[in-house]
């Protein structure tokens, strides 16, 4: 599935989204709300307000995806725990590349940025630790 307007996943469990392009939305490209165990692979989110917005969800993985050119945040994670970003390209978003808001523990990020820097902001979130290149992890080591 490609070149669709937007995708909303609400009150779901054990869903895999694969090979989706969401673009040109005045709000959210991909929106995951009150859902658990959601995997998103090869997602392209461009020219939306927020490329990917995860809210009140648990165990969400975003893998091998491109989030660029959104007018607000590339990825907004709000009030969500145990989420992972693996091999995600986040670039050229107008506000924050990644905004982690009201979220605690169990957050892991593996990011590529063509801009040579990462724009990550935490707002009222806990367990913040940032490594150098490659893997950054927020949460006690297992």
Six token digits for residue 138 = 């927020």
Q: Which residues contact 117 (CB under 8 A, 6 or more apart)?
A: none
**pTM recorded for the entire structure:** 0.78
16-56 pLDDT, tens digit each: 999 999 999 999 999 999 999 999 999 999 999 999 999 99
Six token digits for residue 82 = 């145990």
82-129 pLDDT, tens digit each: 888 888 888 888 888 888 887 765 555 545 445 444 555 555 555 444
């Amino acid at each position: 599935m490609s070149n669709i307007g937007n995708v909303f996943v609400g009150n779901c469990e054990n869903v895999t989204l694969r090979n989706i392009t969401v673009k040109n939305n005045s709000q959210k490209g991909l929106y995951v709300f009150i859902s658990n165990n959601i995997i998103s692979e090869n997602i392209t989110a461009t020219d939306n307000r927020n490329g990917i917005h995860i809210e009140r969800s648990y165990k969400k993985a975003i893998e091998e995806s491109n989030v660029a050119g959104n007018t607000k945040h590339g990825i907004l994670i709000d009030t969500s725990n145990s989420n992972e970003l693996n091999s995600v390209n986040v670039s050229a978003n107008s506000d924050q590349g990644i905004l982690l808001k009201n979220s605690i523990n169990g957050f892991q990020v593996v990011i590529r940025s063509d801009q040579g820097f990462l724009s990550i902001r935490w707002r009222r979130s806990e367990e913040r630790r940032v490594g150098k290149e490659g893997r950054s992890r927020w949460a006690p080591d297992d």
